Structure 1
């Protein structure tokens, strides 16, 4: 599968081999030719890689609905991850997650990456995308709103966000 690109970013879909390197994190370091910013991969990136590898071992590779590395176009350095938690369900819904290394936060990279992922999901026929963030994670709330998602529920721990498109507005 091809990379997704934005003005400042490359969203690189992980292969199983790359996900294995991410799962093991900084203990083994990046695979040959890769450049990781300090702090990558985070615990969330490792969990996404592990979930993707479990899917690959079971029902098969879920790409393009798996994890992506967020790389700066300017230098190719991986500054975080974004991705789907799996293939669309029977209702055409997916869940997304994302995260950036601390040094890359506050520059609009997460919003830019999420907007690209939402546009890609819509182009693939997805009808709704869900996400959530801890109540005190104001930055993540701003990212989802900036990308066009709306709050649909709040519980004791999380704010839940969603964007949806009707089949009539679907853009294949």
Structure 2
């Protein structure tokens, strides 16, 4: 499993044009693109239009809407010329992704109103792979992208989808284009960019499965960490995230967030949920900081930001945290964030060595 980057955009576009070039002499306007209502020509134009739109929004740092322009082909452009346009717009997106500074986000409507460079790359790849499949189906030509590329795409944009026995059939099933044994047909679908939550001096950046996988194996998850790396609690949380993803029960908005400091772009800790809210709207929260970031109010600030976000939702009624009895700094953090001491899960006094805290909406 690997994070998406600009090279993957180039790889996806190369596979698209290689497949479609075998049918470049066909009348694409006369052939429907698979299950779509568009013909193959309109579908190819759509792919190019999306690629340039994603590149423009990322490069232009659009914040509230797509930049106000649209791709238009010159009259008489043939299929070969159209494929050249797809190649070129793909190259522009790849370049925008490669040159985007860390942490930069731009407008995309779903689901959290923004995406980072990795998200824009993945969305462009999704458009290319899926619509190449549609056109290849209509033109009756073979097409299947590399399994590693599809696996990376699924982990980036479809973290809510349980991995299947093979990546490509799983992606086709997840987007309503095929069947998967043991799973009900999909009639409506959306991809999901990672969530980011502003928190004053830093940003809470939602952890994707690929980054969690790297952290679980001892890597940095794609972040530049203060003091050389995350605290062990963040790695453990990343491991739990991966288990949830592999089990098909991961909900990204109730996952793990990395605290990325504005002043230097360094990751200073991890914060997140221990699962989804229960039937009473109760969900557990946990956090840690690297040693060099402690004692500066970061944990309290982060906990308040995540608590505010969670308690504004209809499906969350209360948050709780468990703190070791001898961990007085952490007890001070939850208290400053508004949590109050409560009894244990069974209504009795807290278990030896542990204290329970709760914050209600």
TM-score (structure 1 length as normaliser):
0.89
SS in 1 for 2:225: coil
Aligned length: 161
State the partner residue of 2:271: 82
Contact 1:9 1:71 (8 Å CA) reproduced: yes
Which region of structure 1 is more displaced relative to structure 2, 148-157 or 44-53?
148-157
| Moved >4 Å (runs of 4+) | none
By relative contact order (CA 8 Å, sep 6+), the higher-ranking structure is: 1
Deviation at 1:46, TM superposition (A): 1.1
Deviation at 1:30, TM superposition (A): 4.4
Deviation at 1:155, TM superposition (A): 2.7
Q: Residues of 2 paired with 1:40 and 1:85: CA distance?
A: 22
Deviation at 1:106, TM superposition (A): 0.4
Correspondence 1:5 to 2:171: no
TM-score (structure 2 length as normaliser):
0.43
Q: Deviations over 1:26-59 (max 9, x none)?
A: xx4442xx21112532221111001111111112
SS in 1 for 2:272: strand
Q: CA RMSD of the aligned region, Å?
A: 1.3
Q: Residues of 2 paired with 1:118 and 1:29: CA distance?
A: 26
Q: Residues of 2 paired with 1:55 and 1:45: CA distance?
A: 15
| Higher Cα radius of gyration | 2
Q: Deviations over 1:61-86 (max 9, x none)?
A: 32100100011111110011000011
Contact 1:40 1:80 (8 Å CA) reproduced: no
Any unmatched runs of 5+ in structure 2? 1-193, 344-349
Cα distance change of structure 1 residues 148 and 39 upon mapping to structure 2, 3 Å threshold: farther
SS in 2 for 1:48: helix
